[in-house]
């Protein structure tokens, strides 16, 4: 193969998939902020047991140049996204590449051709493999590791994608806050006033012993609170069950909260410890020794990530969001956590960002979703 020829090959065999999954170790060698993914968990994205694939297609590719893999990508078609948004949009994800524009061009050309041949009109990404998972390209905030279930990439990726004609579709923000100074008095007052104004409002932690019933409430609030958000895709019952089953052993009940008025559940918030600080030590493998490390170092985690916080549309602007933030803050503080990340927040969600600013949060990372017409 000539040095300037790039062959883009579909990943079809177990051997190919192993090479696809291990490629990031070449890109991030020596990068102290990279968190190696758990290989078994990551491989599940491409397994037929993944319920996402019951309504979607993921086709992974690698780019070969000079006899070795120089990049990877996947073409993604999510029929639930298309049906929900009535948009002929496909996606790319799982993108990694050496700093070589020709490799990125070859990979994206392959994805665009695949989507175009299936009558799609727009490509968006990166998503791994949807907005319900890791999504976005880090474009600002490279000086620290990502929080749990947030992406990370080299700084040069933005230039590679823009060099292929991709434009900004939406920016997503990650905010950081520290508990050193406690909860601002203003937020305490807002919380107290909100409780006084809403008769029957209660905040309670998740009941792990009744998890099946709690999951029904989570899905109800999720669909009601997020469905009008940009990029939202409703989770199927199978996907919600899988997410809960994979996270239930990681949950801290006092950091998973429901807001109710009378017998109606109107809001939900979930924060998880930043397990990335532990996963980084495992180098992609959670064997018996890795499990012991995980259990040992999990006790030293001092950061939580607020992953979800939403209130049904008809109950917004009453201060319920502030109450949920306040409760998470105080409960996290009581458990010994000293820092929180609140992510991700859409750039055009001023109500949520205003609440975070009032808590003392500061935007410290920006992730971008790109798009291009096909």
Same domain, yes or no, for 280 and 132? no
Q: What is the mean pLDDT of each run of 10 residues along the chain (374 residues)?
A: 80 98 98 97 96 98 97 99 97 99 98 98 98 97 98 99 98 89 64 73 94 92 91 93 89 96 95 96 89 89 94 88 87 91 92 79 96 98
User: Residue 233's closest CA among 44, 48, 51?
Assistant: 51
Same domain, yes or no, for 48 and 197? no
DSSP 218-280: HHHHHHHHHTTSTT--PPPHHHHHHHHHHHGGG--GGGEEEEEETTEEEEEEEEEE-THHHHG
| pLDDT at res. 2 | 46
Distance CA(332)–CA(327), nearest Å, equals 8
Same domain, yes or no, for 204 and 107? no
Same domain, yes or no, for 27 and 99? yes
Same domain, yes or no, for 299 and 315? yes
| pLDDT at res. 264 | 94
Same domain, yes or no, for 140 and 181? no
Question: Domain range holding 292?
Answer: 177-366
User: Residue 316's closest CA among 220, 232, 224, 254?
Assistant: 224
Q: Count structural domains, the chain.
A: 2
Same domain, yes or no, for 203 and 339? yes
Each residue's pLDDT tens digit, 237-266 = 999 999 988 888 899 999 999 999 999 999
| pLDDT at res. 222 | 92
Same domain, yes or no, for 15 and 163? yes
Strand 339-346 with 303-311, pairing: parallel
Residue 259 is encoded by which pair of tokens? 């807001």
Tell me if 50 sits within 8 A of 239, measured CB to CB: no
Q: Note the pTM of the prediction, 2 decimals.
A: 0.94
CATH number of the domain residue 295 falls in: 3.40.630.30
Same domain, yes or no, for 139 and 199? no
Q: What share of the chain is helix, strand, coil (3-state, %, to 5)?
A: 40, 30, 30
Give the distance between the most distant pair of CA atoms in the chain. Answer: 73
CA angle 237, 238, 242 (to 5 degrees): 115
- Whether 280 maps to a domain, the answer reads yes
- Whether 373 maps to a domain, the answer reads no
């Amino acid at each position: 193969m000539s040095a300037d020829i790039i062959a883009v090959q579909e990943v079809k065999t177990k051997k190919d998939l192993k090479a696809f999954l291990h490629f990031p170790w070449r890109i991030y060698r020596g990068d102290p902020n990279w968190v190696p993914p758990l290989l078994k968990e990551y491989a599940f994205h491409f397994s037929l047991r993944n319920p996402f694939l019951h309504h979607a297609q993921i086709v992974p590719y690698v780019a070969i140049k000079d006899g070795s893999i120089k990049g990877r990508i996947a073409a993604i078609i999510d029929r639930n996204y298309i049906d929900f948004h009535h948009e002929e949009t496909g996606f790319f994800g799982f993108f990694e590449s050496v700093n070589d524009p020709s490799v990125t061009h070859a990979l994206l050309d392959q994805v665009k051709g695949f989507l175009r041949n299936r009558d799609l009109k727009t490509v968006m990404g990166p998503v791994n493999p949807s907005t319900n998972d890791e999504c976005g390209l880090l474009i600002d905030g490279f000086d620290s590791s990502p929080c749990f279930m947030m992406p990370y990439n080299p700084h040069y990726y933005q230039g590679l994608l823009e060099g292929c004609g991709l434009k900004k579709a939406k920016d997503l923000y990650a905010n950081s806050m520290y508990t050193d100074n406690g909860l601002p008095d203003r937020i305490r007052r807002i919380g107290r006033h909100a409780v006084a104004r809403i008769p029957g409002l209660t905040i309670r932690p998740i009941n792990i012993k009744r998890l099946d019933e709690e999951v029904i409430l989570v899905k109800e609030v999720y669909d009601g609170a997020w469905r009008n958000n940009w990029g939202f895709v409703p989770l199927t019952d199978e996907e919600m069950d899988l997410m809960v089953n994979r996270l239930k052993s990681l949950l801290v009940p006092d950091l998973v909260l429901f807001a109710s008025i009378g017998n109606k559940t109107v809001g939900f918030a979930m924060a998880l410890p930043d397990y990335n600080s532990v996963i980084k030590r495992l180098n992609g493998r959670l064997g018996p020794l890795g499990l012991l490390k995980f259990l040992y170092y999990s006790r030293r985690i001092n950061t939580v990530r607020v992953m979800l916080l939403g209130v049904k549309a008809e109950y917004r602007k009453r201060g319920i969001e502030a109450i949920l933030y306040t409760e998470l803050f105080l409960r996290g503080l009581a458990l010994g956590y000293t820092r929180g990340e609140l992510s991700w927040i859409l750039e055009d969600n001023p109500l949520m960002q205003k609440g975070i600013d009032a808590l003392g949060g500061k935007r410290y990372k920006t992730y971008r979703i790109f798009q291009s017409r096909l």
